[in-house]
Each structure stands twice: as C-alpha cells, then as structure tokens.
Amino acid sequence: MSTTQSSVRITVKNILFLTDFSDPSEAALPLAFATAREYGATVHALHVLVPKPSTYMSPDTTMAAIDAQEECAVADMQRVESQLAGVTHDVRVVRGVDVWGPVEQALESCHPDLIVLGTHGRAGAQKMILGSVAEEVFRRSPVPVLTVGPRARDGMHGAARFHRVLHATDFSPEARAAAPYAVSLAQENQAHLILLHVMDGKSTHLAPGGTGMSIAVAMHELLELIPGDAELWCRPEPVVQYGQVAERILEEAKGRHADLIVLGVRGAAGHLRAATHFRRSVAYQVVANARCPVLTVRA
C-alpha cells in the first residue's frame, strides 16, 4: 500500500497475509481477500512454524511432534487456500525460530504493499510471557499493516469498503506519515473522515502561556493535515478530546461507528520484546481492543 502524496490514491499490488489458523486469523482472511479483489492484488499467505517448548521429550518423540505439527499446518493452509479462490494467490508454510525472520524474507521476496493479520490481543501476564507478534510486525514492517483484533465485529470489515475512517494523531512525524493513507482511503471509499487529537496533559506542543496546545490550535493542525487538492466526499471532521489516549481513541471510534482506524506508529528501537512486555503502547491497546480493523503506518 503506497502513496506518494496525500492527494494520490493508494495502490496495492501484493498483500502478505499472515496466519496462525486461529479465530483472529480467520476473521482477517475475508479482509485480505476483499482487499485483493478490490485492488486486483495478489495474496501471499504465510504461516510460520515456530518451535514449541516440550518437557521430558526424547529426540524421537520430539521429531514425531514436529512432523505432526507440520502435517496439521499444511492441512490448515489448504483450507486457507480454498478460501482465496477467486483472487491470485500463493501459500507457504515455513519454519523459523521466530515469526519475524520469515516475515522479513517474505517482504524481500514478495514485495508486499500491505500486511494483513489477526491478533489475539493478549494483555497482562500473557503478553509479558508470549509477547505480541502483531506488535512486532507493525513496529518493524516498512509497509502498512492492517490488523483485525478479537473485538472487531463480525462482517463489518469483510468487504474492504470503509464508510467512516478515523485518523488519530498526536502530530508527531509518525502520525503525520499515516495521514496520507487516511485521506487516500477516505477518497477511495467516499468515506467520512474523522481527524482526532487527544490531549492527555503531556503534550510537547506549548501555547504562549506554557499551558499546552489550545483547542483552536489543535483544530487548525488537524485540518492542515488535509491537502488543498484532496478529493474528499465531505468535509473532514476535526475532533479534540481530553483523557487517556488509547481509551479516548477507542471510545470515539465506537461512538462514531468508525469501520477503520488509522494510526502512525514508532519503529522498534533496541530489543522490541523487552520494551513491550512491561508497557502496553497506545497503538497496541487500540489494535487489541478496537471493534474495527486498524491500519498502522510506520514512519
């Protein structure tokens, strides 16, 4: 999914669909299919077999378990392939010590414009132990990532047509990199575009009195995100709210019946898992709890 300037339509030629055959992956598959059909794109479906810790297993029983795991994965991937009939596609089951390594190789070989995946939305101790594959992908991917979380309503994203696009921004470089995608998708779908800024009391943008960004300035900056030649169906709606950022984004998306959220995200710095085990980022909270798909764009 690429765009050169805000007023240019996005293009999608290749989609990398990541699946672990879970319910969230099943929920994301219709979105990958519909997006491919909408743009005439190819879907590259990928499942990564990662080692599972086994206790008190001999080499023979371990090999038997590995073979059984691969056999099940191949059968599950055949089911995925049957659901991709009607669009150009290919499927692969590969082994890796983690998920990101094979994903990185797929990025180089398939040249996707977009990654689509489902997430379990793990939190608390479960996320500390297991980490979040989805967060690792959207913080490292050089292309936009479209994620379907466990709270996304059935069927609301199946047709890859969006009627209300909510772009949440803190005016950072990362957020500004995501704005062209929100505008382009609103143009492509003739959708209502909602521009949201949440003031959490920690803004680095200071008004003359040092009291933080005023509502008027925030409104102005929101509208400045839209290029003058953007062919939008209706005037964008700027919204400024106060409160906890992720919570307010989710509340606004729900209250305004958004069927897509667009966010800018920071890239991985240092060891991603160590950084995310103990602190849930705003982006991850939104992805894990949104009732609609979330498009994340890394600057």
Instruction: Give the confidence band of 130 by pLDDT, cuts at 50, 70, 90.
Output: very low
| Identity of the amino acid at 113 | D
Task: Say whether 152-299 and 8-118 share the same fold.
Answer: yes
CA dist., res. 43 & res. 131, Å (int): 26
pLDDT at 65: 75
What is the structure's pLDDT at 276? Answer: 44
pLDDT tier, 129 (very low <50, low <70, confident <90, very high otherwise)? very low
Give the pLDDT confidence score for residue 272 in this predicted structure.
52
Q: Does the 8-118 domain belong in CATH 3.60.70.12?
A: no
Which residue ranges make up each domain of the chain?
A: 8-118, 152-299
Q: How confident is the model at residue 156 (pLDDT cuts 50, 70, 90)?
A: low
Would you identify the CATH topology of the domain 152-299? Rossmann fold (3.40.50)
Among 126-130, 179-183, 184-188, 239-243, whose mean pLDDT is lowest? 126-130
pLDDT score at 206: 41
Angle at 200 between CA 196 and CA 206, to 5 degrees: 90
- Write out pLDDT tens, residues 213-262: 788 999 999 999 998 877 787 889 999 999 999 999 999 999 999 999 99
Q: What is the 3-state secondary structure (H, E, C) of 156-200?
A: CCCCCCCCEEEEECCCCHHHHHHHHHHHHHHHHHCCEEEEEEEEC
Sequence-distant (≥ 6) Cβ neighbours of residue 249 within 8 angstroms: 166, 168, 196, 198, 261, 282, 286
Q: What is the mean pLDDT of residues 110-131?
A: 69
Average pLDDT, integer, range 259-269: 88
Segment 278-293 mean pLDDT: 83
Q: What is the pLDDT of residues 90-109, one digit of tens each?
A: 999 999 989 999 999 999 99
